[in-house]
Structure formats: structure tokens, C-alpha cells
Amino acid sequence: MTIELGLMLAGMLMIGFLAQWLAWRVKLPAILFLLLAGIVLGPVSGVLDPDKLLGGLLFPSVSLAVALILFEGSLTLRFHELPGIGKAVRGLVSYGAVASLLLLALAAHLVAGLAWPIALLFGALACVTGPTVIAPMLRTLRPNARIANTLRWEGIVIDPLGALFAVLIYEAIVSRQEGHTIGIFVATIGCGVVIGALSAWLMAFFLRRQMIPEYLQNYAVLAAVLLAFSLSNTITHESGLLAVTIMGIALGNLRGVHIDDILDFKESLTTVLVSLLFILLAARLHWPLPDGMLGAGIALFVIAQLVVRPLTVAIASFGSGLHWRERALIGWVAPRGIVAASVSALFALRLGALGVAGAEALVPLVFTLIIGTVILQSATARPLAIWLKVAEPEPRGVLIFGSDQVARAIGKALDEAGFRVVLADDDWDGIRQARMDGLATFFGNPASPHAERHLDLTGIGRLLAVSTHRERNSLACVHYRQEFGREKVYRLRNLTPQENTDRAALAGSLLAPPLFDEEMTHGRFAEMMREGWRIKTTRLSSTFDWPHFIEQYGSNSVLMFGVEEKGALRVASARRELEPKPGWTVIALVPPAEPGAE
């Protein structure tokens, strides 16, 4: 059946979205569902033939997409995260990677019967972890910060290095002139570093001086990344991956360069590219696999998971500041991703055209390893992290911006209800009083660079902006939308009659849902507390439900929070009215008790 190119591409986008959505619903890496979708569309049904669909554009498109994915990942690397994990990361991406390459090559030679050149090429491709699968796995895994930073740095830095190893081995296979390998390596490293660093410096120069308008900045960075990748590859073959990685790391760590909007754009673009790439590459698999490849692939996966990864992590992290429990979890988590899939497909095609024996086994072995690591580690990493006691708790806690009487009263009520509460403010008097009340505090603006480095958000999943500063509340809400999600950020309104006009109001995009009810403002809350109103926490039952609570404490009581039977916190908002049920614990602001009433 022939399907129009436009319809096929649109259908792939929708299938990619459905795979991503399903992954979000079941909390598994999207790569699993994307690969399954590609296999069903390609070798199973024959609906999608990427080579026929895109022709000569297939591999240039794949190469450019991988470059953008790698650049986006490297933008998130921050040097201030390295203290305490730097030695482990350096070990994992240097001699640890070499040890992994050699062990995997040995296993491929002995188990799959590959000739040494193809076995070494498999080792180079299979020794890398992928940032496109590490990031979603970390969201589900939620390990402590040291483990998360180590895995994230390793996944991004080792991808271009693994590709470089593969390029060197590929060049040796093709040219049969191993004497040129060192020269190729030096030229590749030098060209990638110089072009990447120079591209980052030029882009930073233009951004700092506002020489590019904001609406064109994403376009400019996109064009610069693709140009740096292509130019580097043109000068020295396959050096482009290193160039875009260096460019991303440099741009992400230069001071005075605001890249938040650029990073948001690249994250969205990366999601689309990853979805399309995995479907395309999985659709290129041929079924049935060559004789013995399925069994050999499963055996190699078991060896990689149970022998190679734990051994290389133990070697690479020896003497680092990581605890043995942290090293154990890192030794278990090593999903393979898009670079392994795309580069293996690229080299297999080229080597097959040259008639190199064993090239046809490269793709099925690599894809078996990808699928095996993703499935096993997605299912077991979180329980293992909990058992090892290196997992962050469920993000049930609350970050409160503010430290005056209102913020302290709300924080104390939530703290007594069993939630982790942190009050953050740069008002020292308020913070000091909160500490005297026994509340955890952070002295400083929660949206500051200092907070990014020092504010401990372990177990925190919501923001309540209740300070007396309207604009700073809005800024904190916008900042923490990225951290917690739009639906987990709230503000207590600060409105005076003069401010409650269209001229004085803030734009809707800057506003989070208002807390409690339509009439509640910070000033009103504070005034009610001065008049003797108090925060009451009560567990409802079938004999004393919410209507009974209202009857006892008054219809003007203000519902603030509800805690479900399983411990989930529900926040009352002007945009979402709560309906407390028996078994819930309600936290409400109630009028002063009449004499003799309680």
C-alpha cells in the first residue's frame, strides 16, 4: 500500500505523541513505546519503509536530529553540580568507558561470534548511555541529587565519545590503515572542540549585547547548532557530535547568557525529534532476525546488565565521594538510547554496502540491548533505589514563599498535617521567627541563582507564593512551573482596590491559580487572623462530614486544604473548588469560637 509522504509524516507525529502520552501515563520511558510502534509499522505490518519514504534524505536528517538532541542535553549540564561527583563522572566517561567497550566487544566476539572489528564497533556503540532515555527514567526513578547528576552528566558526555570511538573503529575497518587512527582521533577532537567553543562564544556575544531580538533567538541558536555540526563534519569527518556537545556545555555555563527560553524551545523540539527518530529507526529492522541473533542479543544484554555495567562503575567510581549504595544504583542504571540506535543503523548500512562480514548483526544486537535495558531498568530501578535508601521521597512537600504571620500559620498547619514544609524568604526577621516555630527555612529569594544551588527541594512538589510582594510572587510562580508543573503552583493574591483594575493587573501568563476563594487576599487573611480567626484541622467521617463541619464552625469558614485518605494533598483554589469526603482531613480557616462553644 502506497501512502502519501505528507500523510505518513503526519501519522508518525501523531503516533509519536500517543507513545509519549502513554509513557507519561504509565511512567515508563517513551523509547519503549516508540520502538514498539516502529517495529509494528515497519517489519510487522510493512506500512512504513523509511528508506523508500525519505530516500537519500534519511541519514542526513537523522544526523542533524541527533545533533540537536545532544545539544539540548548538554545545555542542561552545570559545572556547579560536579563537586562530589566529578571524579566518578570523569572515570565513567574515560577509562570506565574504555573498559566497558572492551568487555562488551569480548562478549560480542565470544557469544555472537562477531569478528573482532565488528565486535569492537558493537562495544563502542553499546558502551554509551543515552540522555534521551536517562532524563525520563530519572523522572520516574527520582534518586538523590548526586546519583541523578552523575547519570545525567555521564549520559550526555559519553554519547559523543562513544560515537567517536565508533568512528575510529569504523575508519579502521574501512581503510585498513590503522596507522591513521591516532591522527584521525586528534583531528576529530581538535576540530570538534574548537568549532564548538567558537560557536558558543559567538552566540553568547550576540545574546549578551541583545543584537538578536528575543523572537529570533531560538531560530538563531537552531541555525547555529546545525551549522556548527555540519561545518565540523565537513572539516573533519564525524566530529560534529563533539562540536555541538562542547557548544551546549559552554553556552549553558557562560555567565550573563539567559537561555531559559532557548532551553524550553529545544526541549519541545527534542521531544518531537526523538519520537520521529525512534519510529523511523525501529521501522528499518528486518524480521525475522538473522539466525542466532535473537538469542545472542539476549545473552549480550544479560552480560552487559549483570557483569559489564556493575564492574565498570565499580572501577570508575573507586575513591570517589559516592556512597556504596549510590554506586550500586548507578551500576544498575545504564539505558541505551538514540545515538546507539542511529549510529549503529548508519554504520551497518555503510559496512553492508562494502560487503563487510557480520555488519548485518550490528543493528539487531544493538536494538535488543536498547529494548532490554529500558524494560528491565524501568521496572526495577525505582524499587531498587528505595531498597538501597537512595531515592527521594514522593514529592508531597510544600515550598512556601513568604515568612510573615500568614505564611507561618499556613506552614505550621501543613507541617502538623505531616507534610514537609520549607519557608523561603529574604526577610530575616520572618525567617528567624519561623525557625523559632520549628519550621524548616531557606533565607533568600527562592527564585535566585543562590536558591538553585542551595535550596533543598527533596520531597517538595508544590509552591505556595504567599509573600506580601505581588510581583515577586508571580516571578516565583513562573520560575517553579518548570520544576513542579503548572498545576502545582499557587499564589495568595495581593490586591488593593486601586490595583484591581485592568491597568494595574498582571498578564494572565504570569498568574498562578489564586489560593482558597475568590475573596481571599493576603491582607484579608492577615486581618482575619488579627480578629481571632484560627486554622482548624479536622478529620471527617461518615458521622461528621463537611456539611457538619460547616454547621459547627460557620458557613463563612474558608476551606484551605484537603488531605485524602492516602495522604495526597489537595489545595483549595478559586479555580477548583474542593468537595471534602469522609475520611479526608480538612484544614480550614474558621471564625473565633463563641464563648462556651468549644
The pLDDT of residue 306 is: 92
Please check whether residue 1 lies inside any domain of the structure: no
Which comes out higher in pLDDT, residue 513 or 328? 328
Please check whether residue 520 lies inside any domain of the structure: yes
Report which DSSP code applies to 591.
P
Q: What is the mean pLDDT of residues 139-154?
A: 78
Check pLDDT > 60 for residue 596: no
Please check whether residue 597 lies inside any domain of the structure: no
Are 307 and 445 in the same domain?
A: no
Are 346 and 215 in the same domain?
A: yes
State pLDDT tens for residues 372-390.
888 888 888 888 888 888 8
Cell 529507526 belongs to which residue?
Answer: 281
Which comes out higher in pLDDT, residue 383 or 129? 383
Check pLDDT > 70 for residue 597: no
Q: What is the mean pLDDT of residues 359-376?
A: 83
Contacts 24+ apart (CB under 8 A), 39-43: 39/282, 39/283, 39/285, 39/287, 41/15, 41/279, 41/283, 42/282, 42/283, 42/284, 42/285, 43/283, 43/285, 43/286, 43/287
The pLDDT of residue 498 is: 42
Are 345 and 471 in the same domain?
A: no
Please check whether residue 429 lies inside any domain of the structure: yes
Contact 108, 114 (CB under 8 A): yes
Q: How many Å apart are CA 560 and CA 168, to the nearest integer?
A: 63
Are 337 and 252 in the same domain?
A: yes
The pLDDT of residue 502 is: 47
Are 458 and 337 in the same domain?
A: no
State pLDDT tens for residues 508-534.
545 677 888 777 888 888 888 888 888
Judge residue 382's burial from the number of C-beta atoms within 10 Å of its C-beta, 0-12 exposed, 13-18 middle, 19 or more buried. Answer: middle
Please check whether residue 240 lies inside any domain of the structure: yes
pLDDT band at 475 (very low <50, low <70, confident <90, very high): confident
Last-in-domain residue among 361, 377, 408: 361
The pLDDT of residue 302 is: 92
Q: What is the mean pLDDT of residues 358-384?
A: 83
The pLDDT of residue 103 is: 92
The pLDDT of residue 307 is: 92
Contact 74, 132 (CB under 8 A): no
Check pLDDT > 50 for residue 110: yes
Run of H or E including 122: helix 116-126
Please check whether residue 367 lies inside any domain of the structure: no
Q: How many Å apart are CA 60 and CA 66, to the nearest integer?
A: 10
Q: What 3-state class would DSSP assign to 143?
A: strand
Q: What is the mean pLDDT of residues 16-33?
A: 79
Cell 505528507 belongs to which residue?
Answer: 6
Are 420 and 355 in the same domain?
A: no
Are 427 and 531 in the same domain?
A: yes
Which comes out higher in pLDDT, residue 3 or 372? 372
Are 103 and 208 in the same domain?
A: yes
The pLDDT of residue 303 is: 92
Are 242 and 354 in the same domain?
A: yes
State pLDDT tens for residues 276-319.
877 887 787 776 666 777 888 899 999 999 999 999 988 888 77
Lowest mean pLDDT among 19-23, 315-319, 504-508: 504-508
Please check whether residue 462 lies inside any domain of the structure: yes
Helix, strand, coil % in the chain, rounded to nearest 5: 65, 10, 30
Last-in-domain residue among 343, 361, 379: 361
User: How many residues comprise the chain?
Assistant: 598
The residue range of the domain holding 223 is 57-267+302-361
The pLDDT of residue 97 is: 83
Joined grid coordinates for residue 421: 514544609
Q: What is the mean pLDDT of residues 424-444?
A: 85
Mean pLDDT score of the chain, rounded to an integer? 78
pTM score? 0.65
Q: What is the mean pLDDT of residues 408-427?
A: 86
Are 231 and 344 in the same domain?
A: yes
Are 137 and 198 in the same domain?
A: yes
Please check whether residue 7 lies inside any domain of the structure: no
What is the domain-level CATH number for residue 536? 3.40.50.720
Q: How many Å apart are CA 160 and CA 165, to the nearest integer?
A: 9
Q: How many Å apart are CA 406 and CA 433, to the nearest integer?
A: 12
Are 337 and 465 in the same domain?
A: no
pLDDT band at 83 (very low <50, low <70, confident <90, very high): low
**How many domains would you assign to the chain?**
2
| Beta bridge partner(s), residue 538 | 586
Q: What is the mean pLDDT of residues 451-461?
A: 72
The pLDDT of residue 393 is: 67
The pLDDT of residue 595 is: 47
Residues whose CB is less than 8 angstroms from the CB of residue 519 and which lie 6 or more positions away in sequence, other chains included: none
